[in-house]
Amino acid sequence: MLNIEPKGKRFGPYEVLHLMGTSGQSAVFAAKHETTQHKVVLRVMTMAVTNLDAAIVECTQVLEEISNIDAPNIVKIEDYGIHNALIYIVMTIMEGGSLSDRMKSRMESALGDDAQLPSAGEVLQMLERVAIALDDIHERDMVHGQIGPGSIMFDKKGTAFVSDIGLTRLMKIIFRLEATNSFNMNPYSAPELWNGERPSPATDQYALACVIYELLTGKPPFNNTSIYHLMQAHMDDVAAPPHYIRPDLPSELALVFWQALAKPVDRRFPSVLAFHKGLQDALGDKLGEETDFFTFALL
């Protein structure tokens, strides 16, 4: 675990205000620029490598590349730098939090299986924005590699943005994972990642399809407390048709998710926007009533 005393700590010209979250790989802080007082989000990662100079050069190259991406619907990297053996990334604040925050908040406040889900129409709108962002980076020969609820962010109006572009590449450099093409496995990881294969644009599509499936049904397509059984499910099982879980959903969705969640990479949709179009066609006019899922105030 990254061990940093948060409040008052400085990274370059940025002063930490408070800790927002941690993992074994990084810590995320609310921070402000010491001169302009501009508030930002600061991701800090430690570089525990033997050849620190080489790692700094490689990480700087990646950060230079991703900070120059001028694309819609992507959380902007405003600045970055090196502080001793720590690398910090400065990002625009997303006041609506992450999709993970929103899902967790609704699930915790619900009784039984009665958590209020977003309408199908709202999910479709969110998916379109995320699809545009992912297809854009795919056209730049880049892959996100870790798409999930934590990497989909919202502004205060409930508009979706993709975060953490390039984070997978940075982690591989920082932790010297040259021989490993996958790590940090989760309920949204595609079969090829469980096999240790290199992620591709279709990998992002698969992970996003898992997220969309969960938003529509209230349950991930594959889930298990055992990492081994979770791996087996992603490798071998077929997701239940969404209308088996929520009978009000159209049965046509089954074929859409069958394709987006196909085990062989080449059987998935040719792009993420093509997945969006398939979902749109399957839903037809069954979009549901508007909710506050993407706009309610997070505590």
Q: What is the pLDDT of residues 268-292, one digit of tens each?
A: 999 999 999 999 999 999 999 999 9
For residue 22, list its beta bridge partners: 27
**pLDDT at residue number 114:** 60
**pLDDT at residue number 85:** 78
Helix (H) or strand (E) holding 66: helix 52-67
Contact 131, 220 (CB under 8 A): no
CATH architecture of 10-91: 2-Layer Sandwich (3.30)
Q: Domain limits of the chain? A: 10-91, 99-283
CA 130 – CA 123 distance, rounded (Å) = 11
Cα 223 to Cα 25, 217, 239, 298, distances in angstroms: 23, 13, 10, 26
Contact 65, 166 (CB under 8 A): yes
CA 243 – CA 231 distance, rounded (Å) = 24
Low-confidence ranges of the chain (pLDDT < 70): 1-8, 23-25, 48-50, 109-115, 176-184
**pLDDT at residue number 130:** 98
Q: For the domain made up of 99-283, give the CATH fold.
A: Transferase(Phosphotransferase); domain 1 (1.10.510)
Which residue type does 274 have?
Answer: A
Which residue type does 58 have?
Answer: E
Phi (first) and psi of residue 56, to 5 degrees: -60, -45
**pLDDT at residue number 206:** 98
- Paired tokens of 17: 């205000």
- Paired tokens of 65: 């590349």
**pLDDT at residue number 141:** 92
**pLDDT at residue number 1:** 45
Which residue type does 27 have?
Answer: A
- Which residues have C-beta within 8 Å of that of residue 105, sequence separation ≥ 6? 296, 298, 299
Q: What is the pTM of this model?
A: 0.91
